[in-house]
Amino acid sequence: MKSEPRTKTTVLTFTALLATLISIHAASGAAADMLATPESFAAIADTAARSAALFTEAGKVLTHPRCMNCHPAGDRPRQGDVQRLHQPPVARGEDGFGLPAMRCQICHQAANFEPAGVPGNPAWHLAPHEMGWEGKTLAQICEQIKDPARNGGRSLEDIVHHVGEDHLVGWAWAPGGDRTPAPGTQAQAGALLDAWVKTGAVCPN
Amino acid sequence: MGTSRRDFVKLLTSSGIALSVSRLALAEQPDFAAREILPGRQAWNPAATGAGRIDGVAKVTGSKLYASDFRAADLPGWPAKTSHAMLIRATDATHIYDGIDLSRLSGALKPSVVVTAEDLARIGTRVPEFFAGDLFCPLRKTPLYLGQPIALLIFEDFDVFDQARFALRDATIVKYGEETGAITRLPYAAFRFTRVAGATPEAPDVYSPFKNGWVSPGKFKDTGHPIWERLPLPTGQEYAEAAGYGEDIRAELAADNPARLVLERQFETQSVDPMFLEPESALAWYDPGRKSLELVVGVQSPYDTAESVAFLLGAAEAAHKPARINMQFAYMGGGFGGRDHTPFPLYVALAGMFFPGRPVRLANNRYEQLQSGIKRHAVSMHTRMGVDRATGKIFAFAADHVLHAGGLSNFSPHVATVGAVAALGVYYAPKVDVTTVSLPSRAVTAGSMRGYGTLQPMTALEVLVDEMCTALPLDPIEFRRRNALKPGERRMTGNTYSVSIRTPEILDKLEQHSIWRDRAAEKARGREAGILVGTGVACVTKNYGTGADCSLAAVEIDPQGRIAIRFDETEIGNAVGTAVANRVANYLGGVADEIALAQTKAFTPLALVRSGDPHTIDQKTQDTAARNPRWVPETFSATAASTGAHVGTHAAAEAARVIFRFGLWPTALELWRIAPNDPRAAQWQAARWKDGQLTAPSLPPLALADIAARAHTRNGITGAMAHSFNRWAWSQADFKIDGQNWTAEIDALALRRGAGKFVRLDRANVKFPPTTLNQSGPTYTAQCGTLVRVEIDRGTGALRIAKGYSVLECGNALVPQVVIGQAQGGFAMGVGQALLETLPLYEDGPGNGKWTLGQYVVARGSDLPLRDLEIEVLPPVDADERPKGIGEVVMIPVVAALVNAIFDATGHRFRALPVTQAMIKGVLT
Amino acid sequence: MTTLTVTINGRSYGPTEVRDELTMNDYLREYLGLTGTKFGCGAAQCLSCAVIVDNPDGSSYTSPTCIVPATSFNGKSIRTVEGHAKNGELTVLQKAFIEHFAFQCGYCTAGFLNEGQVLLDRLARKRVPRADLEKTIAEALDGHLCRCTGYAKYHEAVRDVILADPQRYLL
């Protein structure tokens, strides 16, 4: 979304549009491939509203299949843009790195292996249960991310670093195969969350 | 290992190509035959003690066995290097094909050879009738079907091939032009099967296919679609008669009659893939010096494959016409019908011919196998069943089947008929009318697959019966009992089964089983625990045999008493080699340790000739032809229709009987010093084998090895080769052996004495099964019933099969553990068809080349009640009951049992397959 | 291109220059002619392509070969189905598969053998309670597809090998 609202009317339309987006189910995967810059939200005068809008934009990344597939509610990851259950059927096991007979790293190498179309990263594994986002609204995901009991004991700054710089997270923008990359760039996603934190880390409704 | 003789036999085909066998010189590598003739004399034979299969050791040690295992370097006499070919296939069948753009494959990635339709036209290939349709889509034509090959690319080096296929994988290299829509064609086949019983069971039928002949409807001029109605036209009167009776039956079903209950329902089944685990692959090498084409393939129809390749190249221009074709047939990694009459070998033969001097491998990956492998049709069925409320008996039955076939005809017409005549399952009805039509489309080719079109109508039937029982109401087992076809009663085709019918026992077993008895209690228990529990039952019967089956075998015993068998059946996992060894052991006292399968050239001493089509030949022509002592209605048939046990082992059994009666028995008499006129000399049928020793009342046991050694030194009969033809009954003939008359269910016989050659005997009084049996439809059948208990999660719709039970009958089981294994495997495949597997027919389906096993989900261990699946095999009715084929029947009742169980649990009756978790969840909210 | 050296069934292969895109499955089957390891799906769905990887510490795991580059096996030690029997003597598991009629077409058998053997080796290092046995076997084998058998006899064979030597495998 690249509109540059210049008038109040346009801003209200823009906000209304955002409000519509918030109510879209998290797993719709219909996000556009771009991310707005933090600056483009400057026109939203109310800080809380601006904060929520920034998170909503970052939410295009969080709810994208590349992220949601490995933040499942249950024990099984999903795969592909269609987000079907991972085939072969694998499960998180005790440590999120798979059951003994099917450890993630056995198939998922350190890098994407294009001849087989298999994605790869040295840290390939499932997010823990408490970080499962599947079936949640963006508002719920926001609260979850902020909650140290459910976000691995992270501070808000840690979250900004995690999304903006973590190597496994970064895979989402270069997934290989026929997988759609997450929108924008990792740096842009980090910047949005950084701006979100600086505006009070307000969650959308 | 193997014989040291070199067999060099020529068989001229009508094309003038010699199909010959030449045993290639043994290099350090064991030759192909050495790898494929199992278990082999140096190896442990698990079958010898019933401890396993003849191929057991080969399969657990990763020995080269399957066509996909072989490369040129493994075949003595072949050039060492293997080149690799790939097929480019159409993923669009509604636009003109406008050429391929191979610019991605430039420089180092360039293919050595590109073969297209234009090349085939240039060299003069012919497409065998069975595979009619362009082998490659010609330029500027619309592809006939999704996945139709467009070009064959051959790469000299594997590494170039590997890089090329990666470069092409996500690329759109096939160019399409203007939209034309899919090519429309006439239906492949349409039939109507109508029966009206006479006034009493003994009275002849008023009308039936067996009595009056098979009929097909006329067609609309523009679409070619069948006109089912009876038309007042002077032509087509046979059809009009059937249609007349059929319309009366339907009128009766439509009539308002409170004393009767008529249910009319639609049922849809999906397209599925056999998904055998070894994708199709083959090797070819054309030696231009000797003008010989060598092929290594894995197919269920070896003889037809050899004939097809010979026909393909039989009129080609000189440089592309081999003088000899030598095909070698490997064990297969699964078949399920999908390797019967597959066009794949035609393409590898072309690869060989277009790359002379260099062996070429053509192999499907799983994308390609799903894209091009033979499918099972999607079927739409409209079924009407009428029941008399007071008696619970079916008074009339009508059904209309539409089979959604693909782009090539393949077996579709036959599948349609077999499915139609199976529509009434295990039941009897005095009035039956079934229409069937097989419609071509741009979908992937459909043909033979486990069940052969009967799974679909019998699933629809058993679900309808379940609904009927709820509606009447009548206990589901009792309904089946009252309506089960009895021995001697006529089927919907108007014939009777010639084998045992054991439906009542099967029903008794189902009724007595705890899954059935406890169904109410389990449902209640589930309710308390918040789970939906349901129980389902189904009982079906499936024919084995095709009505034109052949059995060929040569059995030999060497001076050490070791037995070798060569026969024509192929191995798809069904343990037919072990079965034949066991059956022969009944007569010869020892389990063979050299079993050669898929033999097409080993039987030339019989000098068989054939003519005509066994399915359509008339009696007069057959009788005339039979006067030629070497004529048979058919020489070979494919491994299909569960024929392994009943058909595949027959000729070997007959050959073994001859060896015993005229070879080993007279030798034993000599060793026992019993004179020919001694009354004990005639009591060969009282002799028994025990632990490799021949025992007869009051006589000392003789070891097989001793008898064999003596048989050889006295130049007695030590080998027999036989052929038999089956059209729902075996052919029969008399043979004079050593001055005595021998009547047996064979039509050709050759004998070997000592270490000599096989010498043909003339037959007398041959009786081939009458041609009227072509109208009878199957007379061989086996029954199977299944119970399942399912547990469904209310919230997610997830289904767990808590318990399963299948009970079946198979006559005398030749390898009992394999019968159980087949039933377990059939259960798994039934689960897949019922709950998991589906393929869209057109552009979203596997024809687009994007499907692999991540999308096409088959049953895993976790989908099955591994420790709660009970299989029961009824003992044979008596010691002499012949083996029955059960490879297919064990899959069929599972599907309806699951659909019925889901109804019992949820109250929703599904009438389309598969029934997925999402669909179940959808009806629970 | 990468130089590949790998030990297979106790024998060292290489150094060989191989393309980085070459799959391990193609290396085994096309380069070395070791076709006991099968190709079934090319998507790690069926595991008929699985081999045993032996870690230096004595533990082992199975790995598919169809979706994994050959180069990722550089320096590793693996076992394929061809390496189970020694001097013609079949392993306990191989014999159990035969005697239980565990397979039919046999195409998936190499994968099941490798998986079963790894499970036996794993249990020998860390035994499990008898009550957990069936679940342990099911979890170990569930990645392997079989189209012929319905799996039951494979599971029975593995279970019976374990139950025949409970001291070694069970708590």
**What's the pTM value of the predicted model, to 2 decimals?**
0.93
Q: Is the pLDDT of residue B8 over 70?
A: no
Distance (Å, whole) CA B140 – CA B498 = 54
Identify all chain A residues contacting B853, using CB atoms and an 8 Å cutoff: 87
Identify all chain A residues contacting B862, using CB atoms and an 8 Å cutoff: 89
| Per-residue tokens: B515 | 């899954």
Nearest to C143 by CA among B392, B854, B104: B854
pLDDT at A14: 52
User: Least CB-CB distance to C101: which of B821, B826, B864?
Assistant: B821
Interface contact C146, partner A, CB < 8 A:
no
Residues 6+ apart with CB under 8 A from A23: none
Distance (Å, whole) CA B801 – CA B831 = 9
Count of CB atoms within 10 A of residue B913's CB?
26
Measured between alpha carbons, how far is residue B569 from residues B232, B309, B891 in Å? 49, 19, 22
Confidence of residue A17 (pLDDT cuts 50, 70, 90): low
**In contact, A55 and A205? CB cutoff 8 Å:** no
Q: What DSSP letter does each residue of C76-115 carry, written as one string? A: -EEE-GGGTSBTTBPPHHHHHHHHTT--SS-TTHHHHHHH
Interface contact C42, partner A, CB < 8 A:
yes
B527 in helix, strand or coil? helix
pLDDT at A18: 52
Task: Determine, for residues B62 and C134 on separate chains, whether the beta-carbon distance falls below 8 Å.
Answer: no
| Interval C74-89 mean pLDDT | 96
| Per-residue tokens: B711 | 């048989």
Q: What percent of chain B has pLDDT over 70?
A: 96
Q: Is the pLDDT of residue A9 over 50?
A: no
pLDDT at B28: 58
Task: Determine, for residues B166 and A89 on separate chains, whether the beta-carbon distance falls below 8 Å.
Answer: no
Residues 6+ apart with CB under 8 A from B314: B13, B14, B15, B16, B17, B126, B321
**In contact, A167 and A14? CB cutoff 8 Å:** no
Nearest to B771 by CA among B614, B642, B541: B614
The DSSP element (H or E) to which C168 belongs, if any, is helix C166-169
Going by the DSSP 8-state scheme, the letter that residue B827 receives in this structure is H
Residue B792, min C-alpha distance to chain C (Å): 21
Distance (Å, whole) CA B1 – CA B628 = 38
Across A7-44, b (16+ Cβ under 10 Å) vs e yields: eeeebeebbeebeebbeeebbebebeeebbebebbebb
Going by the DSSP 8-state scheme, the letter that residue B836 receives in this structure is I
Nearest to B861 by CA among B832, B820, B887: B832
Query: For residue range B289-333, what is the model confidence (pLDDT) as tens digits?
Result: 999 999 999 999 999 999 999 999 999 999 999 999 999 999 999
**In contact, B806 and B784? CB cutoff 8 Å:** yes
Distance (Å, whole) CA B760 – CA B752 = 9
Q: What DSSP letter does each residue of B665-680 carry, written as one string? A: HHHHHHHTT--TTSGG
pLDDT at B3: 29
Query: Which of B158, B170, B370 is best to mutate for the A interface (most A CBs within 10 A)?
Result: B170
Q: Is the pLDDT of residue A85 over 80?
A: yes
Half-sphere exposure of B375 (CA within 13 A, CB side): 35
Going by the DSSP 8-state scheme, the letter that residue B272 receives in this structure is B
Task: Determine, for residues B824 and C138 on separate chains, whether the beta-carbon distance falls below 8 Å.
Answer: no
**In contact, B600 and B533? CB cutoff 8 Å:** no
Nearest to C166 by CA among C141, C133, C118, C119: C133
Confidence of residue B11 (pLDDT cuts 50, 70, 90): very low
CA B699, distance to chain mean position in Å, is: 46
Task: Determine, for residues A114 and C141 on separate chains, whether the beta-carbon distance falls below 8 Å.
Answer: no
| Interval A122-145 mean pLDDT | 95
Q: Which residue of A has its CA nearest to B863?
A: A89
Q: Is the pLDDT of residue A26 over 90?
A: no
Residue C47, min C-alpha distance to chain A (Å): 9
Distance (Å, whole) CA B395 – CA B393 = 6
Query: For residue range B508-553, what is the model confidence (pLDDT) as tens digits?
Result: 999 999 999 999 999 999 999 999 999 999 999 999 999 999 999 9
- Give residue for tokens 């050709």: B748
- Can you give the C-alpha Rg of chain A in angstroms? 17
User: Which chains does A contact via 3+ CB–CB distances below 8 A?
Assistant: B, C
B vs C: CB pairs below 8 A: 193
**In contact, B649 and B577? CB cutoff 8 Å:** no
Please name the residues between 100 and 159 in chain A that touch chain C, using a CB distance below 8 Å.
100-103, 106-107, 109, 113-118
Query: For residue range B540-594, what is the model confidence (pLDDT) as tens digits?
Result: 999 999 999 999 999 999 999 999 999 999 999 999 999 999 999 999 999 999 9
Distance (Å, whole) CA B534 – CA B793 = 12
| Per-residue tokens: B640 | 């299909």
pLDDT at B43: 82
Distance (Å, whole) CA B255 – CA B265 = 16
Distance (Å, whole) CA B828 – CA C152 = 10
- Can you give the C-alpha Rg of chain B in angstroms? 28
Identify all chain C residues contacting A177, using CB atoms and an 8 Å cutoff: none
pLDDT at B735: 98
Task: Determine, for residues B61 and C142 on separate chains, whether the beta-carbon distance falls below 8 Å.
Answer: no
Any alpha helices (H) in B603-727, and if so which ranges? Answer: 619-626, 650-659, 665-671, 704-713
Q: Is the pLDDT of residue B18 over 60?
A: no
pLDDT at B223: 78
Query: For residue range B23-78, what is the model confidence (pLDDT) as tens digits?
Result: 223 335 788 988 999 998 878 899 988 899 999 999 999 999 999 999 999 999 99
Q: Which residue of A has its CA nearest to C63?
A: A106
Query: For residue range B329-375, what is the model confidence (pLDDT) as tens digits?
Result: 999 999 999 999 999 999 999 999 999 999 999 999 999 999 999 99
Distance (Å, whole) CA B401 – CA B193 = 11
| Interval B368-395 mean pLDDT | 98
Sign of CA dihedral B773, B750, B306, B578: positive
Residue C52, min C-alpha distance to chain A (Å): 11
| Interval B407-433 mean pLDDT | 97
**Helix count and strand count (H, E) for chain C:** 6, 5
Sign of CA dihedral A105, C102, B781, B640: positive
Long-range contacts of B313-316 (CB under 8 A, 24+ apart): B313/B15, B313/B17, B313/B125, B313/B349, B313/B353, B314/B13, B314/B14, B314/B15, B314/B16, B314/B17, B314/B126, B315/B15, B315/B124, B315/B125, B315/B126, B316/B123, B316/B124, B316/B125, B316/B353
Confidence of residue A101 (pLDDT cuts 50, 70, 90): confident
Angle between helical axes of B576-588 and B650-659 (0-180°, round to 10) = 20
Interface contact C108, partner A, CB < 8 A:
no
Burial of B589 (0-12, 13-18, 19+ CB in 10 A): buried
pLDDT at A107: 94
The answer to whether the complex's ipTM is over 0.95 is yes
Q: How high does pLDDT run on average in chain B?
A: 94
User: Least CB-CB distance to B166: which of A87, A89, A115?
Assistant: A115
| Per-residue tokens: B881 | 């009951």
Q: Which residues pair with B554 in a beta bridge?
A: B566, B721
Task: Determine, for residues B163 and C19 on separate chains, whether the beta-carbon distance falls below 8 Å.
Answer: yes
Nearest to B897 by CA among B810, B835, B820: B835
Residues 6+ apart with CB under 8 A from B122: none
Q: Which residue of A has its CA nearest to B853?
A: A87
Residue A89, min C-alpha distance to chain B (Å): 9
Task: Determine, for residues A178 and B170 on separate chains, whether the beta-carbon distance falls below 8 Å.
Answer: yes
Distance (Å, whole) CA B534 – CA B791 = 7
Confidence of residue B20 (pLDDT cuts 50, 70, 90): very low
User: Least CB-CB distance to B854: which of A87, A114, A115?
Assistant: A87
Measured between alpha carbons, how far is residue B52 from residues B39, B57, B129 in Å? 11, 9, 41
User: Least CB-CB distance to B854: which of C45, C108, C148?
Assistant: C45
B874 in helix, strand or coil? strand
User: Least CB-CB distance to C150: which of B279, B817, B828?
Assistant: B828
Identify residues of A whose CB sits under 8 angstroms from chain B CBs: 79, 84, 87-89, 114-115, 178
Identify all chain B residues contacting A178, using CB atoms and an 8 Å cutoff: 170
Half-sphere exposure of C106 (CA within 13 A, CB side): 29
Measured between alpha carbons, how far is residue B72 from residues A169, B32, B69, B286 in Å? 47, 11, 10, 12
Rounded (5°) CA angle B17-B20-B21: 165
**In contact, C80 and C28? CB cutoff 8 Å:** yes
| Per-residue tokens: A156 | 């808000």
Whether the bond into A115 is cis, omega within 30 of 0: no
**Helix count and strand count (H, E) for chain A:** 8, 4
pLDDT at A25: 34
| Interval A51-71 mean pLDDT | 96
| Per-residue tokens: B824 | 């377990």
B750 compared with C88, residue with greater pLDDT: B750
B740 in helix, strand or coil? strand
Q: Is the pLDDT of residue B620 over 50?
A: yes
B13: left (phi over 0), alpha (psi -120 to 50) or beta: beta
Query: For residue range B227-238, what is the model confidence (pLDDT) as tens digits?
Result: 888 777 666 778
